[in-house]
Amino acid sequence: MNIPAFITGTVVIIVFSWLYSIRHGRFHGIPRFFAFESIYILLLLNIRLLFRDPFSVIQAFSWIMLCLSAYVGLAGYFHLKNHGEAENGFENTTKLVISGIYGYIRHPLYCSLILMLNNIA
């Protein structure tokens, strides 16, 4: 594993968790830190495999799943931020969002993480 990349990524995840959740008393940032850190470690451990045989069918499927994961996560984040009527940040919504990607998937951010884990695990 690339230790400088591990340390840098871990610091970024800690700062993100602190700035957007823990500092404001929203302690769900603690388990989110461990979830993101686990995914980051899996990515670092498997990064070589993502480029081993770039033109194979399984590799193409892997990249499709990774792109789908990014799309689902970003679409969920932006739709919730724009339509959730949040009080303090996008996490504390006051309205149940059932349009957009939330009309198909109840938890697109979790779905994104699952797609990513299936891609790199």
Query: Quick check: 117 and 91 in contact, CB under 8 A?
Result: no
Give the count of alpha carbons within 13 A of 48, CB side only: 3
Token pair belonging to 120: 């790199």
Would you give per-residue pLDDT tens digits along the chain (121 residues)? 789 999 999 999 999 888 877 887 777 778 878 888 888 888 888 788 777 887 888 888 888 888 898 899 889 888 887 888 777 665 667 788 889 999 999 888 888 878 877 665 4
Q: SS3 of 30, please? A: helix
Query: Cβ contacts of residue 97 below 8 Å, gap of 6+?
Result: 79, 80, 83, 84
- pTM (two decimals): 0.69
